């Protein structure tokens, strides 16, 4: 009798296990289908995300790193869905730089205090703290505390069923760029990028349905750095911050372009804005001097076989022109591309393209060289002639 009861219990246990596993698979399949509809992906990684979370509950995929005067604002908490750790799939580290935050916060939100930090030194402090945790975050998302997120015209109806931050997160997981940024239309946004693509890539029509495109110069107010890339970008160079914080985007763009060319992507469907415009040190003086130094410092880190690559020389000689006309904008996007610093140089070498043509058009370089070596008097005369022709 006891034996029969045990056998019956075993049967019920087996049936329950079967139903439970099947239900779990159905949920995963449903989530996978929803994500594919949202991002247009055929290689959804929702199931992988679930497995990732199951393996390590203490390491969510994302960590948000920000600075604020005292405590997180309700607006930012709502924008990033920070009140619920499972919803935001995140940990949060906040550096208060004016007054220590004494509010009781959720377990996944940590406050630091440092009232002697600059914008860059503050981000470096956040970076070191995140590294000391020793957790397996996939993306380190650095952001200003006043950002807003909204859908742009590039967002699909399926995307708009979700929130901007969740769509941005899903895109990061599905594409895995070295650096992912939103569309900050105020500076170097999608309109400017699409115009640059038309010019640099000689395209009469730009694909308006594309979700993303390689970019070079981007505003640092909301940037996601992949775990395999972040330690090759941070800590940031901050020697200039006593007189100019504008150089930070030049530093980041130089390091990312030279180490991970073509793997910094702008995601068009999510627009980024900022509400506050605080005062800080800013100047145009010495911009190109510092910019060239950033490039030279990265060149020193490059493997010996790539140190003399034309990319360093062209970018260093004409940083502004390179940003406007580089063929980086024309590079093909590959989902889950291996993230290895300086690996793009090996691809260039295999294709036999260690020449200016793969940096930007040879004709453009020739023009720039002729312009650079003109006598100053001649350059001034040409500039005056152009101004007259523009105003006539």
Q: From the CA atom positions of the chain, what is the Rg in Å?
A: 24
The length of the chain, given as a count of residues? 392
Q: Specify the pLDDT at position 242.
A: 66
Q: Specify the pLDDT at position 279.
A: 61
Report the alpha-carbon angle 249-251-257, nearest 5. Answer: 95
CB atoms under 10 Å from CB of 328, counted, come to 24
Q: Specify the pLDDT at position 70.
A: 96
Residue-by-residue DSSP string for 223-272: EEEEHHHHTTTPSPP-TTTTT-STHHHHHHHHHHHHHSTT-EEEEEEEEE
Residue segments in the chain with a per-residue pLDDT below the cut of 70: 1-58, 204, 240-243, 245-246, 277-284, 286, 348-392
CB atoms under 10 Å from CB of 351, counted, come to 9
Kindly report the CATH class assigned to 47-358. alpha beta
Q: Specify the pLDDT at position 380.
A: 47
Q: Which tens digit of pLDDT belongs to each residue from 378-390?
A: 444 444 444 443 3
Q: Specify the pLDDT at position 247.
A: 81
Q: Specify the pLDDT at position 45.
A: 35
CB atoms under 10 Å from CB of 68, counted, come to 19
Q: Which tens digit of pLDDT belongs to each residue from 305-343?
A: 999 999 999 999 999 999 999 999 999 999 999 999 999
Structure tokens at 27: 């949920």
Cβ-based neighbours of 80, under 8 Å, separated by 6 or more: 64, 88, 90, 149, 165
Q: Please state, rounded to an integer, the average pLDDT across all residues of the chain.
A: 79
> Mapping DSSP to helix (H, G, I), strand (E, B) and coil, where does residue 140 land?
strand
């Amino acid at each position: 009798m006891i034996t029969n009861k045990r056998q019956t219990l075993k049967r019920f246990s087996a049936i329950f296990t079967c139903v439970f596993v099947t239900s779990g698979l159905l949920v995963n399949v449903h989530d996978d289908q929803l994500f594919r509809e949202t991002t247009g992906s055929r290689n959804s990684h929702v199931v992988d995300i679930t497995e990732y979370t199951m393996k390590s509950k203490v390491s969510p995929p994302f960590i948000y790193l920000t600075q604020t005067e005292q405590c997180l604002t309700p607006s930012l908490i709502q924008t990033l869905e920070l009140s619920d750790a499972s919803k935001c799939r995140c940990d949060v580290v906040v550096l208060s730089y004016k007054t220590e935050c004494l509010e009781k916060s959720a377990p996944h939100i940590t406050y630091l205090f440092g009232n002697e930090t600059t914008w860059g030194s503050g981000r470096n402090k956040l970076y070191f703290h995140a590294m000391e945790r020793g957790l397996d975050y996939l993306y380190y998302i650095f952001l200003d505390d006043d950002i807003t997120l909204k859908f742009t015209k590039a967002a699909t109806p399926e995307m708009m069923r979700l929130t901007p931050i969740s769509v941005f997160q899903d895109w990061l997981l599905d594409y895995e760029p070295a650096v992912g940024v939103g569309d900050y239309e105020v500076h170097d946004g999608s309109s400017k990028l699409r115009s640059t693509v038309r010019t640099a890539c000689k395209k009469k029509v730009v694909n308006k349905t594309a979700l993303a495109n390689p970019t070079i110069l981007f505003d640092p107010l909301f940037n996601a750095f992949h775990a395999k890339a972040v330690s090759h970008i941070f800590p940031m160079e901050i020697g200039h911050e006593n007189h100019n914080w504008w150089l930070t985007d030049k530093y980041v763009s130089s390091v990312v372009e030279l180490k991970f060319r073509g793997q910094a992507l702008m995601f068009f469907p999510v627009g980024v804005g900022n509400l506050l415009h605080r005062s800080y040190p800013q100047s145009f003086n010495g911009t190109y001097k510092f910019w060239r130094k950033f490039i030279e410092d990265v060149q020193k880190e490059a493997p010996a076989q790539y140190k003399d690559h034309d990319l360093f020389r062209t970018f260093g000689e004409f940083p502004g022109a390179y940003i406007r006309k580089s063929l980086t904008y024309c590079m093909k996007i590959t989902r889950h591309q291996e993230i290895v610093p300086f690996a793009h140089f090996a691809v260039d070498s295999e294709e036999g393209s260690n020449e200016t043509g793969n940096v930007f058009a040879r004709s453009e370089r020739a023009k720039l060289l002729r312009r650079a070596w003109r006598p100053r008097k001649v350059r001034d005369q040409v500039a005056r002639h152009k101004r007259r022709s523009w105003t006539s």
